[in-house]
Amino acid sequence: MLEIKNLWIETEDFPILRNIELKAERGKLKIILGESGGGKSTLGLFIGGILKENTRARGSLFLDGKEYFPPDEKSWRGKKAGIVFQDPYSFFDPRKKILSSIKEVLKYHLFLRGNESEKRALFWLNKVNFPEKFYNYFPYQLSGGMLQRAAIASVSCLEPEIIIADEPTSALDPPLRKGISKLLKKISRDRYVIYITHFAEEALELGEDFLVLYSGYVMEETEGKFFHPYSKLLLGSIVKRGKKLKPAKGFSPHPSQLPEGCPFRERCQLENERCRELPPLRKINSSKLRCWNVS
């Protein structure tokens, strides 16, 4: 079990993440869903052992019963956790060919050289269906989809226990997104995979275990069925033939400018006077959610 308890990440002036609780099971894709500005990437970076500049963290992180807090970037990243970033073009050194880049990763983290590093690099490039003819291409010679496959191979070749995929398909054309997301789901079978996205349709296709973030708060943690008004707003953004789109009211507030009480109340159709008090995260049906008006 990967478990985070009472996580706060703060700048000197305001919190970015507030009292985050998260549980993820090995072999089961954990989807972190929400609009931009909700704190998804900050949470993903923290799990990967990276804190943004001028921020501090407090709370707890447990991996298989052992506490690691805060996860140290040098001993944690690469060995315990790896990150697939949003932009595959910034992942690789533009001066190095793909196979050479992955061998360099193995040399730095696992001290593998020669045939040993090449054998493992080739194994993982093959596992992510990266064509052999592209092994000695430079990054600029490849499409975004091919580069993202190579990035997944580069992270996976270290065989970390946790893989964080931070919006891995948002820079890709729609036809390429499904291939990359399904590849990450396949890799999740024997490890923890945290998949961050703002695409509600992609989230539903991939996952059955969701954490919904809004303005630094967990609004809902659920396995398949959504109850929170914010979760339903996200699902309403899914485009389907013959379906009338419902435009979302308002915008996510900056974490330094949250309204009093529930952070979602100014956009919520269920808002009432009680919403001026922050609701706790409580168990309702099979979910945990932060709302006074759902029972």
pLDDT band at 251; cut points 50, 70, 90:
confident
Rounded to an integer, the average pLDDT of 201-228 is 92
pLDDT, one tens digit per residue, over 95-133 is 999 999 999 999 988 999 889 999 999 999 999 999 999
Global confidence as pTM: 0.92
- What is the C-alpha to C-alpha distance for residues 239 and 243, in angstroms, rounded to an integer? 7
Note the pLDDT of residue 106.
95
Name the residue type at position 228: H
Rounded to an integer, the average pLDDT of 54-68 is 93
Note the pLDDT of residue 174.
74
Whether the pLDDT of residue 58 is over 80: the answer is yes
CA 93-78-23 angle, 5° bins: 130
Rounded to an integer, the average pLDDT of 173-199 is 84
Domain covering 2-80+160-289, topology: Rossmann fold (3.40.50)
The side-by-side arrangement of strands in the sheet containing 2-10 is: 15-24, 2-10, 56-63, 66-67
Whether the pLDDT of residue 188 is over 80: the answer is no
pLDDT, one tens digit per residue, over 167-178 is 998 878 777 787
Are 158 and 110 contacting, i.e. CB atoms less than 8 angstroms apart?
yes
Among candidates 159, 222, 214, which has minimal Cα distance to 31? 222
Q: Where are the domains of the chain?
A: 2-80+160-289
Q: What is the mean pLDDT of the chain?
A: 91
